[in-house]
Chain A
Amino acid sequence: MAFEKDLNLDATELRLGLPGTSEESEKQTSTSLRPNKRALPDMNEESVSSDSNVAAATKKSDQEIAPPAKAQVVGWPPIRSYRKNCLQQKKSEAEIGGIYVKVSMDGAPYLRKIDLKVYKGYPELLKALEDMFKFKVGEYSEREGYNGSEFVPTYEDKDGDWMLVGDVPWE
């Protein structure tokens, strides 16, 4: 079960463009797989700032999932749900005020900001994003991600990886 982190596919990727240019320039962290963003470069520089939580809806066809090593395994580490809930509750209490994150959407001219604290769960969040950006996100399933739409909600976690929204428990 050894997984390679940081596959560095950039080096072997076939694409149109002058050698030395990179569509990845706006992403400042790892060289791991990530979806191509078609938004204007200026906007994207702003979106990938030191803010460690950036949500972006991207075209599903371009999306490649981050290596499984970073994914969270169900039931691991093996601690009782009661204990896990207590820890998470303490963590969220430590945050005063709202949790604001930037949201960018492929093709949209500017970014939006939303307060995650306002939403009680993923369905609510996704509905809000759908309303805000006028798109549909499709059905979520643990196995297949989002089915039925060309748009997929993703976010950048603190390791700099692009993660599918909805896998991790809401808290």
Chain B
Amino acid sequence: MMMIIVDEVIEHIFDFITSHKDRNSVSLVCKSWYKIERYSRQRVFIGNCYSISPERLIARFPGLKSLTLKGKPHFADFNLVPHDWGGFLDPWIKAFAKNRIGLEELRLKRMVVSDESLELLSKSFVNFKSLILVSCEGFTTDGLAAIAANCRNLRELDLQENEVDDHRGHWLSCFPESCTSLVSLNFACLKGEINLAALERLVARSPNLKSLRLNRSVPLDTLQKLLMRAPQLLDLGTGSYVHDPSSEAYNELKASIQKCKSIRSLSGFLEVAPRCMAAIYPICANLTFLNLSYAAGLHGNALTKLIQHCNKLQRLWILDCIGDKGLGVVASTCKELQELRVFPSDPYGAGNAAVTEEGLVLISAGCPKLNSLLYFCQQMTNAALITVAKNCPNFIRFRLCTLDPTKPDPVTNLPLDEGFGAIVQSCKGLKRLSLSGLLTDQVFLYIGMYAEQLEMLSIAFAGESDKGMLYVLNGCKKLRKLEIRDCPFGNAALLEDVGKYETMRSLWMSSCEVTLGACKTLAEKMPRLKVELINDSDQMEFNLDDDQKVEKMYLYRSVVGHREDAPEFVWIL
């Protein structure tokens, strides 16, 4: 007896397959599965908005409800990509609106978002629920007003580190009285004043509110009132946390905070009075995520005392003014720590505030579950990295940044090749790596040999010859994103294995030894790769000599033609 599985059953089974990778695999099995999968697909992730067009996306996935889109290359975060390079949201929204896509969720990273597209978005999708913008730009609070006013079913408005032109309008007041569905509201990155009374009323009528992150203009006494209304919060970002600790308002805040037994995640403190931190102590034991990376006013004893209360912490983001000693306190308190990010508090300064290899070693010894690190430090040694590799073999993400990009091991004066080599050899699950310090080709030999799971690699001011880059391209089979700046890698490395780039999302090379001629050769050989040459926007002319070194090259795979929105200073070969 032959059993035939009906399409509906297969579709139902596919409902349980949620990861993008798995759904992509499933769609490749056979034509029938491809068809079932594409009609039932609701969530799509697009890592490079120029790898496909909105029309192609809609054609394949008409049932699209939730989209993640990423625009500019990662190095745009560090001012290496001129403004107006691209990454515009507008054509996507227009296409979705025109084709009556039932969009409900939109998550954008490094995209240019205009007020017009926000307004169109707010009016085109009746069931729109969730807007998350990370590191985006191009919009003002007017666009937010449209979202607030028109999205009747809005659950989530999450703005993370965006450059928003704040018109100090009343965008918050634009949420209608009938809007009671908010679950998550994060406007911490807005610079301007907001209507505090409107905020209080909004929170009061949002019984499902679980996440609230305020901006600097929200004072401590308003915070107290908000917490009274929303003791069910899971995630809180304070605004300005400054008051006189002997005041009535502060006492009321203490009482209100104690009622918030569900808070697991705490951030903000954009302005902070250290003596007011005691009010936070009662909830510290519940915290799993603490982000003090904008709390420049918190250091020394006030900082370490706070941390000593947080023994369940899994993720900690802080400034380097914590110092090596402070990291020692973290190491002895936070035994559950999985992720640590230490940001520079004084990026161009004399380095008095910075941490060194000592702090990192202490952390590695005290926190064996550590699997994700971002560490800006004054210096690093091979010995320290070798110790860290031994103590913490579970790293998935390891990003180290010495403030002087080519600083050698200060004890031995040697490059940091051996240290990073130990990391890649020990951490078999490493997916993301950023290097810094003095580095030769040797470190790349190690990476090519050992970093079998590596998906993303960031390199700056490192290496000696093409061999370095070749070790990586040949060895790292799972490499998806490679970004390189100021390294002596050139044409031989670039052109050795052109097919490799079709297995990757993108390659960025700036201030390297690659010439125009080689880029042209690459573009000719590989029509499905887009090779973009980017001039700094104040230099409009491209030098047409094939031997001329290319200042910035960004190449990415794509299933569509050249993008038509490239500005004058971008030349797509």
Contact = CB atoms under 8 A, between A and B. Distances in A.
B311 to A, nearest CB: 28
Contact of B347 (A2, A74, A82, A84): A84
B77 interface: yes
Interface in B441-499: 458, 460-461, 485
Contacts of A79: 78, 343-344, 347, 376
A75 B80 contact: yes
Contact of B296 (A73, A87, A168): A87
Interface string B303-330: 0000000000000000000000000000
Contacts of A142: 536
Interface string B281-294: 00000000000011
A83 B406 CA distance: 23
Nearest to A141: B538
A75 B406 contact: no
A82 B296 contact: no
Nearest to B350: A158
Contacts of A86: 270, 294
Contact of B77 (A72, A74, A81): A81
A1 B347 contact: no
B77 A78 contact: yes
B79 interface: yes
B90 to A, nearest CB: 22
Interface string A62-106: 000000000011111111111110110010000000000000000
Interface string A1-28: 1100000000000000000000000000
Contacts of A73: 405
Contact of A82 (B162, B403, B405, B461): B162
Given A87-B345, A90-B296, A75 B161 contact: no
Given A86-B294, A87-B296, A77 B347 contact: yes
B418 interface: no
Given A1-B406, A2-B406, A78 B78 contact: yes
Given A2-B406, A74-B80, A82 B163 contact: yes
A84 B270 CA distance: 14
A75 B403 CA distance: 11
A81 B403 CA distance: 16
Contacts of A141: 538
Interface string B346-365: 11101000000000000000
Contacts of B434: 78
Interface residues of B, number: 33
B401 interface: yes
B77 A80 contact: yes
A83 B189 CA distance: 10
Given A1-B461, A80-B161, A86-B294, A75 B79 contact: yes
A67 B116 CA distance: 48
Contacts of A80: 77-78, 135, 161
A77 B406 contact: no
B552 to A, nearest CB: 11
Contacts of A87: 296, 345-347
Given A1-B406, A2-B406, A72-B348, A78 B401 contact: yes
Interface residues of A, number: 22
Nearest to B163: A82
Interface string B265-299: 00000100000000000000000000001101000
Nearest to A168: B348
A74 B75 CA distance: 11
A141 B135 CA distance: 28
A2 B345 CA distance: 26
Contacts of B344: 77, 79
Contacts of A90: 296
Provide the main secondary structure of the chain A interface.
Answer: loop
Contacts, number: 62
A81 B79 contact: yes
A76 B460 contact: yes
Contacts of A74: 78-80
Contacts of B162: 82
Contacts of B350: 158
A75 B296 contact: no
A108 B59 CA distance: 73
B135 A82 contact: yes
Interface in A46-74: 72-74
A77 B403 contact: yes
A137 to B, nearest CB: 18
Contact of B405 (A76, A81, A84): A76
Of A75, A83, A90, A158, which is in contact with the most chain B CB atoms at under 10 Å from its CB?
A75
Contacts of A72: 348
Contacts of B270: 86
Given A80-B135, A81-B163, A75 B347 contact: no
B189 A82 contact: yes
A87 B321 CA distance: 13
A76 B78 contact: yes
B376 A77 contact: yes
Interface in B32-83: 75, 77-80
Contacts of B347: 77, 79, 84, 87
Contacts of B80: 74-75
Contacts of A76: 78, 405, 460
A73 B79 CA distance: 11
Nearest to B408: A2
Interface in B151-190: 161-163, 189
B554 to A, nearest CB: 15
Given A1-B461, A82-B135, A86-B294, A75 B75 contact: yes
Contacts of B161: 80, 82-83
Contacts of B346: 87
Contacts of B163: 81-82
Interface in A121-158: 141-142, 158
12 contacts: A1-B406, A72-B348, A74-B79, A75-B78, A75-B79, A76-B405, A77-B376, A77-B403, A78-B78, A78-B458, A79-B344, A82-B161
Given A72-B348, A78-B78, A142-B536, 14 more contacts: A2-B406, A74-B79, A77-B405, A78-B460, A79-B344, A80-B78, A80-B161, A82-B163, A82-B189, A83-B294, A84-B347, A90-B296, A158-B350, A168-B348
Interface of A: 1-2, 72-84, 86-87, 90, 141-142, 158, 168
Closest 10 CB pairs of A and B: A75-B78, A82-B161, A1-B406, A80-B77, A78-B78, A75-B80, A90-B296, A77-B347, A75-B79, A77-B401
